[in-house]
Structure 1
Amino acid sequence: MPSCDLVDVFCDGPLSGNPLGVVHGGDDLSTEEMQAFTNWLGFSETTFLLPPTQEGADYRVRIFYPGGELPFAGHPTLGSCHSWLAAGGSPARSGSVVQECGIGPVEIRVGAGQLAFKAPELLKYEPLTDEERAFAIQTTGIDEAALVEAVHVVNGPKWQLLRLKTAADVLAANPVSKAPLGTDIGLAGPHDAEFGRDWELRAFFADTHECLTEDPVTGSFNAGVAIHLFKEGLAQGSYTAGQGRKIGANGLVQCQQDDGGDVWIGGQCQIVSAGGRLA
């Protein structure tokens, strides 16, 4: 019988990150049943752990959000891995887990107290058009004078990045309540050095009812932002990003570029509830 863990991902204290439902033993569930459970649970994403089909993968995951299925997402990657390991999963290689998902294999490092996934290559990386830029400004409710650049950082979800002058500008944004399904727009701005976190992020997506929702902590958006910041020399080596403060979360994301140029997105995970049975 399928069971579900509730996992807090990218947390910095109790119940401070992004919640995730991770379903074990759902091999016989149909796509429609997976979607229905995702919609009922109501989190930004719910995942379903399945046996791998690709050589070298330790497990396969299907990732759903209230509007459909995603080929990749960041906090579901870390949360699913954490839940798989906690349930007794044993990776083929010590210290490294390989997850199979819609974009292919994703490597996850298992470290002391946290996991980190290797950021996938961007599928689209270019400036927004004038029309896209205007829509993103209007949708997020930013002060246009604070906008530095607007860039596609697509890595599964179709994220559009608006980089602002400061973290205060990010926190001051006043988004609209409605947006078309498929809207994925995020904001990033630097903190002052003394704050203790280097960047502040916010991320917004539209659900099936075209309600614009703010995500507590977003691994895929952080991954796209990190690739861009490292590539453009706006960050070096590593940095810490905060997310979720406007909606009562306290997400903490560790972003690092290794000597080979790969970008890793890490954070802490905690299981809040384990093994809840699905009827």
Structure 2
Amino acid sequence: MNPITAQTQRLRPFAQVDVFSAEPYRGNPLAVVLDAEGLTTERMQRFANWTNLSETTFLLPPTCPEADYRVRIFTGSEEFPFAGHPTLGSAHAWLEAGGLPRHDGLLVQECAAGLIRVKRDGARLAFAAPPLTRSGPVAEEDLGRIAAGLGLPREALLDSSWLVNGPDWIGVLLESAAQVLAVRPDYTAMKGLKVGVIGPHAPGAGVDFEVRTFIPGDAAAEDPVTGSFNAGAAQWLTRSGRAADSYLAAQGTVLGRAGRVHIEASGDDIWVGGQSVSCIEGSVLL
């Protein structure tokens, strides 16, 4: 008998949340198991693979006294120490399920990357971007591969940086949002590199930057809206003076999504926010 099915299963509360969008089915979906006590890592990974979403999260009691809850974040094939849209989506689901933060207006999420603060910002939730664990120059060989993968001459990549805060993102700045939207990626050329591309919109466009993120691999994909990349990009661009301390980024446009990521630099913190909406609520047998 399969050891997973041999273990005791029970119904557990479940939600599927659309993140970085106030309009259902226009953001980035996240599956959330609201009570994951007793689940092994193997069972979590198998369920995350089965949901066929970019990420699935599992909520647990915290092990740190400062935290309101603990979260484990899985893609279909691996566990992440941190990811952005799973952070906001998990916080949204936890609050909707009746979670009460220890501090009014601020909750603290425990994850493998440490303690992440999440604040209420009107109708939005926003997380404090965690420190980058790797930043700085990208090897010229990798930039050549990225340029080829984006179908652009090398000089079109105006700036670049490693932006690692969980996923191993490389950020690339292009001249304009139109250039970002025109990219037709060649995933083979970028194999092994997670690439995020950002470019400014013209004044009066209603949003300040356009973002796209590409994940080469066996199941190559463009992510609809990416909190971790936007967090790293905000740290890079605001601190280098390439972006204002407060801006709005659009992502998912090419995919028919309407992702909106609100960035606000305040003191030493950079807050990454957006709205979320629950689309599915119920229970799962796990």
Interval of TM-score (by shorter of Structure 1 and Structure 2): over 0.9
Match of 1:243 in 2: 251
Q: 1:131 aligns with which of 141, 151, 157?
A: 141
| 2:4 match | none
- In structure 2, how many angstroms separate the alpha carbons of the residues matched to 1:125 and 1:177? 23
1:25–1:50 Cα contact (<8 Å) kept = yes
Backbone CA RMSD of aligned residues: 1.5
Task: Determine the structure 1 residue equivalent to 2:274.
Answer: 267
> Which position in structure 1 is the counterpart of 2:31?
21
Question: How many residues are treated as equivalent by the alignment?
Answer: 276
1:14, 1:7 → 2: CA distance? Answer: 9
Listed one character per residue, the Cα deviations across residues 60-115 of structure 1 (whole Å, up to 9, x for unaligned) are 00000122000000000000000000001011100000000011000000122110
Quick check: 131-140 or 16-25, which moved more?
131-140
Report the CA distance shift for 1:144/1:94 in structure 2 as closer, same or farther (over 3 A). Answer: same
The match for 1:75 is 85
Matches within 5 A, 1:132-147: 132-147=142-157
Q: Give me the whole-angstrom Cα distance separating, in 1, the residues matched to 2:191 and 2:104.
A: 41
Identity %: 46
Which amino acid in the other structure matches residue 174 of structure 1? Answer: R
Distance 1:35 1:54 in 2: 24
Superposed counterparts of 1:114-263, under 5 Å: 114-178=124-188, 183-207=193-217, 210-258=218-266, 260-263=267-270
**Structure 2 residue ranges without an equivalent (≥5):** 1-10
Q: CA deviation at 1:147?
A: 1.4
The amino acid across from 2:242 in the alignment is: L
Is the 8 Å Cα contact of residues 21 and 275 (structure 2) preserved in structure 1? yes
8 Å Cα contact 2:148-2:189 kept in structure 1: no
Deviation at 1:178, TM superposition (A): 4.1
Per-residue CA distance 1:137-169 (angstroms, 9 max, x = gap): 223334434210121011111100010000111
Shift of 1:54: 1.3
2:3 counterpart residue number: none
Pairwise CA distance, 1:136:
1.9
- One of 63, 67, 86 as aligned partner of 2:73: 63
Q: Tell whether the 8 Å contact from 2:149 to 2:190 is kept in structure 1 after alignment.
A: no
Q: Report the Cα offset of residue 49 of structure 1.
A: 0.3
One-letter amino acid of the counterpart of residue 284, structure 2: R
Is the contact made by 1:143 and 1:169 (CA closer than 8 Å) also made in structure 2? no
Aligned CA distance change for structure 1 residues 196 and 150 (closer, same or farther; 3 Å): same
Asked if the contact 1:142–1:175 (Cα under 8 Å) also holds between the matched residues in 2, the reply is no
Query: Is the CA contact (8 Å cut-off) linking 2:23 and 2:277 kept in structure 1?
Result: no
Distance 2:76 2:170 in 1: 20
Q: How far 1:191 sits from its partner (Å)? A: 0.3
Q: Structure 1: where are the runs of 5+ without partners?
A: none
Distance in 2, Cα, partners of 1:261 & 1:74:
19
Q: Which residue of 1 aligns with 2:285?
A: 278
**Other-structure match for 2:5:** none
Q: Which residue of 2 aligns with 1:5?
A: 15
Deviation at residue 45 of structure 1 after TM alignment: 0.5
CA shift for structure 1 position 12: 4.1
For the pair shown, the structure with the greater C-alpha radius of gyration is: 2
